[in-house]
Amino acid sequence: MRCDLKKKSSILKSLRTGLLIAISIIVFAYAFQVTNVNFETTRSEVRITQLTRVLRALAKPELVEYDTTEEEISSPFYLPCPDNGEIEGIEKNTNLAYIQTSVICASPKETITVEGFNMPANIKGPINFLAASGVKRQLANFETNSDGYFSVDVVVPTRQPVAEAQYITATIRTTTGLPKWTETAKATWDKIIETVFIALLATTIGTAASIPISFIAARNLMKDSTSTPTSTALNIIGFPLGAYLGYIFSKWIIDLLSPFEKNVFITLIGLIISGVIAYFSLRKGLPSEDIKKPTNSVKIQRFAFIFIAGVMAILSIILFGEFTKLAGEALENLLGPIGFLGYALFQIGDITSMLVPALTAIAFGGVIVSVFNKVGLSLQDNLNTSILKIINIVLSTIAGAILFALVMAVINWFYQFNNPRISLYYPVIIGGFAGFILAVIAKPKHLLPTGFIIYTITRTILNALRSIEPLVMAIIAVIWVGIGPFAGSLALALHTIAALAKLYSEQVESIDDGPLEAIHATGANKLQTIVYAVIPQIIPPYISFTMYRWDINVRMSTIIGFVGGGGIGFLLQQNINLLSYRSASVQMLAIAVVVASMDYVSSKIRERIV
Amino acid sequence: MLEIKNLTKVYEGNVQALDDVSFNVQPGEFLAVIGLSGSGKSTLLRCINRLVEPTNGEVIWDGVDVTKAGPDELRRIRRQIGMIFQHFNLVERSKVLTNVLAGRLGYTNPAMSLVNRFSKKDVEMAYKQLERVGITDQANKRADELSGGQQQRVSIARAMMQNPKIILADEPVASLDPVLAHSIMQYLEKINKEDGVTIICSLHFLDLVHRYANRAIALNAGVLMFDGAPKEIDDVKFKEIYGKEAERVG
Ligand SMILES: Nc1ncnc2c1ncn2[C@@H]1O[C@H](COP(=O)(O)OP(=O)(O)OP(=O)(O)O)[C@@H](O)[C@H]1O
Ligand SMILES: [Mg+2]
């Protein structure tokens, strides 16, 4: 009985195995067809000669060249043979290099033999027919043997009959002087530097941006963040409101300042004054220690100081942007060869000016959110459940409406419905209804896992971004900022953010919880816990991942030029299209050298740190 | 000063870690918490400063209910409660001094700690605390270069930076050898006697309880089984706390 069962199962088993094998054979057979596998082409003679030629060209990168001198060895020749048969013979110095034709005169299209003697050994060169008119025509190439001798059959060209002697010449080219870099080598050097800097910029920007994101994308830091329905609804209402106010406010200040923005001194003085005021009001508003519980009037006073500090900070950031732009412009002309420092300064100023409205919007949003949070908490503590429930229902209806309207506004931007019913009314109604239902269902004091939701959204966005190939991103960036290294840097930076933020956050998730708990227990808040317990633990893996990414970015930046992203890829693609494989070979060599040395350096640094 | 009322904690997956635990702690007490592994000692200590969110019940600290405190209130409560852990929980890659200073974070302004700045007063205080536990010379070493006993002393110094009114110690000596265990316990005793800091300390060895604690509570599967002087733990009580098969050692 048992034996029988075993047998049955073993038959089943072998059937299954057989089926699996059959399926895999079919899959691979199909794969052969789809991928056009055709080994006949690999043996075709034409293709093999082509391949050989290209490979040989690639093996000889056009790196250096020499100055050459040419010496022409000639021998007189009559075409056609003179009618009277008189030919002036000439004496040849047989101690020097000379050439000898088998006959001294011939008719067009006759084949003659040219021999060379005492030539330099093992050289190649052209054999020309130098007509009386001075026109040169190449007849063949010669190649001397180790004794400096050659013999080549050539066909005499068709020419107008001329009485006097014309010449058959052999050109000896000799290289002189030291090897020089070819133009290709120089261009390659320029572009490889560009390539390395694309990688550098992309890595730096990407790293800087992905560190804060990685904290938001770390489960262990976010999972404990919860908020009450009241605060959540208030936040959803408050942030867009604050951001909008901030945006308006920054525009207003920028307008206000615009009459002075071209004046270096006013901007500088303004920058210093606003900076100092911001610093001191910040110190007043944020006392370094709080032993007792602050009273309400102290709290209001502090808030006022922080508000002044914030406004002054915005002012000084705007002025900083304007000042650096002006200073950069001036320095660019002044500094001459190191004018690029001025250029960099100008760009920094420009980035600052560009970011001001966004920063202000975020700052205002943040302030309103934190104020609303406090309001939400105190409502929570001081109201009884039924009133709170009513408030929650109202707030969350509004919040749902706003949230849906905002999301729909983004979707509408892409699809351009041109229909307020779809882009505004429906989302507001549906969102409001969803918020209403949620608030009705949820217990008013139940905590919502806000942290977990933010974590999930961040992770999803990162995963989506990461699945877009950098080359595709580069294509989009090229459309945005034009062909060139800037597009490549942008694309790589974006991809770096997506990739590093994920790797980093996984590191944050794997840190030791103990210190976190201990620091938390001292009364430290989230920010302090991150600074004192999280960051010290993640520095080594962060550095190691950054090096790893730098490595990848160097590789990527070598080919991002294929789609117009700047760097060496552009040159390489050009040369391949022009079939100049010897030039292309130089670029391939450069890529190999750079990638290999980056690989080495980064692995050394990683070894040091970990 | 500390009242625990009907404290209950149910972890995810329906694990009942604390079951209706109530007791009071008087100022200046040295209270030992005993019980088998898994009986809920760590959970109890962590519920007091809300590192673990209690499911039910109240923790009244100086007349304020910790379980209902908002973030600011909680921060002010936590900074008066020092905590010491079995595995020290130091930030290993940071300097000893930084680890000690971290005890001050509940008082310093969060924005200031972004730039890693402590006032001179705090740094002086940190050196004073290191001196008290006898490792001033290690201040600039990395925490993971220290031995276990030294690390636990650092964590005592860190707790003392908080000017605590109470210290929660979760098996502070369970990963140390007996000699070091006594030395650490003596530091706690000194803090208790000299500074009048109340201490709640979970312990595995009854001889340590007898030697250092002036009161003990015992948990078994989350239920409070005993509350009284350590010497009252007789064989009957012992079997109640640790189960019928248990044998007394040490
Ligand atoms: N985060 C958690 N999630 C789920 N269950 C938990 C968690 N932490 C502890 N528990 C469970 O709660 C119970 C009490 O655990 P606790 O750590 O408080 O015990 P303990 O007395 O400190 O034990 P030990 O002496 O081993 O430290 C145990 O059954 C444990 O498995
Ligand atoms: Mg424990």
Domain count for chain A: 3
Confidence of residue B16 (pLDDT cuts 50, 70, 90): very high
Q: Averaged over A493-515, what is the pLDDT?
A: 93
A610 touches B at CB < 8 Å: no
Is residue A53, in this structure, part of any structural domain at all?
no
Rounded distance, CA B129 to CA B155, Å?
10
Q: Averaged over A356-381, what is the pLDDT?
A: 88
Pair (A117, A211) in one structural domain: no
A290 touches B at CB < 8 Å: yes
Domain end: A363, A382, A401, which one? A382
Q: Under DSSP, is residue A46 helix (H, G, I), strand (E, B) or coil? A: helix
Q: How far is A433 from chain B (nearest CA, A)?
A: 31
Cα of B38 from ligand 1 centre, angstroms: 5
Q: Averaged over A131-151, what is the pLDDT?
A: 88
Query: Are A127 and A170 spatial neighbours (Cβ–Cβ below 8 Å)?
Result: yes
Q: Does position A542 have pLDDT exceeding 70, yes or no?
A: yes
Summarize pLDDT for B211-236 with one digit per residue, the tens: 999 999 999 999 999 999 998 888 88
Single-letter amino acid, residue A138:
Q
Ligand 1-lining residues (CB < 6 angstroms) = B 11-12, 15, 17, 35, 37-43
A438 touches B at CB < 8 Å: no
Helix (H) or strand (E) holding A155: strand A150-155
Is residue A287, in this structure, part of any structural domain at all?
yes
Rounded distance, CA A50 to CA B102, Å?
70
List chain B residues with CB under 8 Å of A377. 70-71
Amino acid A282: pLDDT = 86
Closest by Cβ to B85, choosing from A514, A537, A540: A514
Which residues of B lie closer than 8 Å to A, measured between beta carbons? 49, 51, 68, 70-71, 74-79, 81-83, 85, 87-94, 98, 102-114, 116, 119, 155, 158, 161-162
Amino acid A5: pLDDT = 57
Q: Are strands B223-228 and B215-220 parallel, antiparallel or unpaired?
A: antiparallel
Domains of chain B, each with CATH number or no CATH: 1-80+165-250 (3.40.50.300), 91-163 (no CATH)
Pair (A256, A217) in one structural domain: no
Q: Does position A10 have pLDDT exceeding 90, yes or no?
A: no
- For residue A355, the enclosing domain spans 237-382
C-alpha triplet A578, A198, A607: angle, nearest 5°:
115
Query: Are A599 and A547 spatial neighbours (Cβ–Cβ below 8 Å)?
Result: no
Cα of B40 from ligand 2 centre, angstroms: 7
What's the Cα-to-Cα distance from A288 to each of A292, A410, B79, B119, rounded to whole Å? 13, 42, 15, 8
Pair (A297, A367) in one structural domain: yes
Amino acid B128: pLDDT = 95
Look at the block and give the residue holding tokens 């429930």: A389
Is residue A411, in this structure, part of any structural domain at all?
no
Beta bridge partners of B95: B142
**Virtual CA dihedral for A443, A449, A454, A459, nearest 10 degrees?**
-130
Kindly report the pTM of this predicted structure: 0.78
Rounded distance, CA B96 to CA A143, Å?
79
Nearest CA in chain A to B168: A521
Query: Are B36 and B82 spatial neighbours (Cβ–Cβ below 8 Å)?
Result: no
Summarize pLDDT for A22-56 with one digit per residue, the tens: 999 999 999 988 998 888 888 889 989 989 988 99
Pair (A470, A371) in one structural domain: no
Is residue A47, in this structure, part of any structural domain at all?
no
A80 touches B at CB < 8 Å: no
Closest by Cβ to A524, choosing from B81, B88, B105: B105
Q: Is B221 left (phi over 0), alpha (psi -120 to 50) or beta?
A: left
Q: Are strands B56-61 and B64-65 parallel, antiparallel or unpaired?
A: antiparallel
Pair (A216, A250) in one structural domain: no
Q: Is A85 left (phi over 0), alpha (psi -120 to 50) or beta?
A: left
Q: Which of A308-322, A420-434, A467-481, B101-115 has the lowest mean pLDDT?
A: B101-115
Instruction: State phi, psi for B226 to the nearest 5 degrees.
Output: -155, 145
Is residue A506, in this structure, part of any structural domain at all?
yes
Q: Averaged over A400-422, what is the pLDDT?
A: 89
Cα of A512 from ligand 1 centre, angstroms: 18
**Structure tokens, A402:** 């706003």
Nearest CA in chain A to B101: A532
Pair (A261, A198) in one structural domain: no
Pair (A498, A602) in one structural domain: yes
Q: Averaged over A55-59, what is the pLDDT?
A: 90
Rounded distance, CA B146 to CA A479, Å?
57
Confidence of residue A475 (pLDDT cuts 50, 70, 90): very high
Give nearest CA residue, ligand 1 atom 3.
B11
Summarize pLDDT for A280-337 with one digit per residue, the tens: 998 888 776 666 777 888 888 888 998 899 999 999 999 999 999 999 988 888 887 8
Q: How far is A227 from chain B (nearest CA, A)?
A: 11
Amino acid A237: pLDDT = 92
**Structure tokens, A310:** 């914030």
Average pLDDT, chain A: 88
- Contact state of B85 with A377 under an 8 Å Cβ cutoff: no
Pair (A134, A193) in one structural domain: no
Rounded distance, CA B102 to CA A523, Å?
10
Cα of B96 from ligand 2 centre, angstroms: 25
For residue A163, give the CATH number of its domain. 2.60.40
A532 touches B at CB < 8 Å: yes
For residue A544, give the CATH number of its domain. 1.10.3720.10
Pair (A164, A194) in one structural domain: no
Single-letter amino acid, residue A409:
A
Amino acid B8: pLDDT = 95
Pair (A176, A191) in one structural domain: no
Summarize pLDDT for A72-129 with one digit per residue, the tens: 888 888 888 877 766 666 777 788 888 988 888 888 888 999 999 988 888 888 999 9
Is residue A35, in this structure, part of any structural domain at all?
no
- Contact state of B51 with A288 under an 8 Å Cβ cutoff: no
Look at the block and give the residue holding tokens 């290209």: A54
Is residue A13, in this structure, part of any structural domain at all?
no
Pair (A482, A610) in one structural domain: yes
Query: Are B167 and B25 spatial neighbours (Cβ–Cβ below 8 Å)?
Result: no
**Structure tokens, A14:** 């072998």
List chain B residues with CB under 8 Å of A299. none
Pair (A454, A601) in one structural domain: yes
Is residue A531, in this structure, part of any structural domain at all?
yes
Amino acid B1: pLDDT = 85
Rounded distance, CA B164 to CA B168, Å?
10
Share of chain A above pLDDT 90, in %: 45
Residue A384: count of CB within 10 angstroms of its CB: 8
Pocket probe for ligand 1: among B7, B10, B11, the residue whose CB has the most ligand atoms within 8 Å is B11
What is the length of chain A?
610
**Structure tokens, A413:** 């931007």
Contacts of A278 (CB under 8 A, 6+ apart): A308, A309, A310, A312, A313, A315, A316
Q: Under DSSP, is residue B15 helix (H, G, I), strand (E, B) or coil? A: strand
DSSP conformation class of B95: B
Summarize pLDDT for B57-75 with one digit per residue, the tens: 999 998 899 998 888 889 9
Q: Which ligand is nearest to the CA of B17?
A: 1
Give the number of beta-carbon pairs within 8 Å between A and B: 107
Query: Are A210 and A529 spatial neighbours (Cβ–Cβ below 8 Å)?
Result: no
Q: How far is A213 from chain B (nearest CA, A)?
A: 17
Query: Are A568 and A38 spatial neighbours (Cβ–Cβ below 8 Å)?
Result: no
**Structure tokens, A224:** 């404990």
